[in-house]
Amino acid sequence: MNHFDKIVESASFLQQYNTNKPTSAVILGSGLGDFVQELQIDKEIHYKEIPHFPVSTVKGHHGKLIFGSIAGKPVIAMAGRFHFYEGYDVLDVIFPIRVLKQLGVQTLFISNAAGGVNPSFKVGDLMIITDHISFAARNPLIGENDERLGHRFPDMSEPYKKSLISKAKQLAGQLDIKVQEGVYFGVTGPTFETRAEYKMIHILGGDAVGMSTVQEVIAAVHAGMDVFAMSVITDIGIREEDNIITHEEVLQAAKDAEPKFSALFKELIASIN
């Protein structure tokens, strides 16, 4: 079975739960799965139950698709995502994005935990992603293009919808939540970056660095979806002291920042027509 037919089969299976026809979906990153507590849940489906879906293997990712609503707006939530470093083919990493598109999703909200590279950032900051640098991550559109999924050469001049960024900044002000803005630099992982790599990323224009999101955004833009993405800064990469970064500390920092993240995402999703 080819890639497109697998997408259609997965979407067909999920249509039985797609009763409210949500046009928005949210992908929850490491340590941010508790956002689901903000949802009025209609149905939870573990990824292993969905035909052709990969399965999350990383701590901090619950591994289920949720149909529900937030602030009265129907939404689909992915509690857990897939990463290239888990050994998945890049088409597996972006598979859920294409399934969401088949289900009628037009606006995609993405979250992640990221390392701060901008020296003005602090652990716990929320960074609205305004752009990304992706040549350190494999482009998911390499290979034969299926026009049913999108055009061969999608424009990437506005991968993150400016109108959604503007709305998020407005809502953050109303909620008295400080937000940063910056460029996300995508890498494959799973190693955290060396000190020299952090410095290089900063020189090249990155404000934060992470192991997800970029491939998902490329697939979403390819499919004609609008994207908003935000990072929780869970560690600071450029640092003088001889400390090390652990995944456990990343998860804890994300958990600590989650109330602010949840409040802003909730209001932003609710504001979409």
What sign has the CA pseudo-torsion 125, 82, 212, 77? Answer: negative
Please, are residues 235 and 124 in contact by the beta-carbon 8 Å criterion?
Answer: no
What would be the CATH architecture of the domain defined by 3-271? 3-Layer(aba) Sandwich (3.40)
Expressed in angstroms, the distance from the first to the final Cα of the chain is: 37
pLDDT tens per residue across all 273 residues of the chain: 899 999 999 999 999 999 999 999 999 987 677 788 889 999 999 999 999 998 876 665 568 999 999 988 999 999 989 999 989 999 999 999 999 999 999 999 999 999 999 999 998 999 999 999 998 889 999 999 999 999 999 999 999 999 999 999 999 999 999 999 999 999 999 998 998 999 999 999 999 999 999 999 999 999 999 999 999 998 887 666 666 777 787 778 777 888 899 999 999 999 986
DSSP element (H, E) containing 253: helix 247-271
Give the pLDDT of residue 237: 79
Q: HEC profile for 183-226?
A: EEEECCCCCCCCHHHHHHHHHCCCCEEECCCHHHHHHHHHCCCE
The residue written with tokens 């456990």 in the block is 248
**Coarse DSSP helix, strand, coil percentages of the chain, rounded to the nearest 5 percent:** 35, 25, 40
Task: Locate the domains of the chain by residue range.
Answer: 3-271
Give the pLDDT of residue 60: 53
What is the Cα–Cα distance from 234 to 124, expressed in whole angstroms?
6
Give the pLDDT of residue 239: 64
The DSSP result for 100-156, as a single string, is: HHHTT--EEEEEEEEEE-STT--TT-EEEEEEEE-TTS--TT-S---TTT--SS---
pTM greater than 0.95: no
Give the pLDDT of residue 249: 76
Give the pLDDT of residue 135: 85
